[in-house]
Structure 1
């Protein structure tokens, strides 16, 4: 599911998992590629589009998943709404990570 070292560089709209730093373990979206080493990430909640976090790509686990909504919005207008960022991460968690929904049993204490 995550990309290998031989994969191409990071891309706008790509979902990442933070592996180092204060936001460890959180999902975010790449909103800008600064150079071959650094990107700007945001999640639309704690890290809004207007105040993204600069991260070294070596500190991120990149998923082979790009949100078309985020990518197209940034390409067309140069920005993306925080709601769109949150929705992209929610959609990724539901479809790709298969996070259980409330009522599926696992969140109700069943195993």
Structure 2
């Protein structure tokens, strides 16, 4: 369930023209949308708001990004891209995670 998303968590888009793209969660907005970034097309300065119904939530979280966001520190696009690449590598290496979605 998307109610369980954490800052720095890996999600992927299931709907829209960005379907299949992976993002890291920045935060959940007051109106219920999840604010995500990939550090490249949707940088931290202009993140994407996604309807929670249009996201697949993965059980991988970037602790580095999560800690920085919790401390309200600035997260750079380079950091997001690096952490996203690391989480994607883990997702590919772990066959048990491949089809496992949270919620």
- Which of 18, 26, 30 in structure 2 is aligned with 1:31? 26
Higher RCO (C-alpha under 8 Å, 6+ residues apart):
2
1-structure distance, mates of 2:79, 2:13: 19
TM-score, length-normalised on structure 1? 0.76
More helix by share: 2
Cα shift at 1:65: 1.1
Work out which of the two has the higher radius of gyration on C-alpha atoms and give 1 or 2.
Answer: 1
Q: Name structure 2 gaps, 5 residues minimum.
A: 95-103
| 2:70 corresponding residue in structure 1 | 75
Report runs of 4+ in structure 1 exceeding 3 Å deviation: none
CA RMSD of aligned residues (A): 1.9
**CA 1:66–1:27 in 2, change beyond 3 Å: closer, same or farther?**
same
TM-score, length-normalised on structure 2? 0.81
Residues 1-111 of structure 1 aligned to structure 2 (within 5 Å): 5=1, 8-35=3-30, 37-98=32-93
Q: Name structure 1 gaps, 5 residues minimum.
A: 100-111
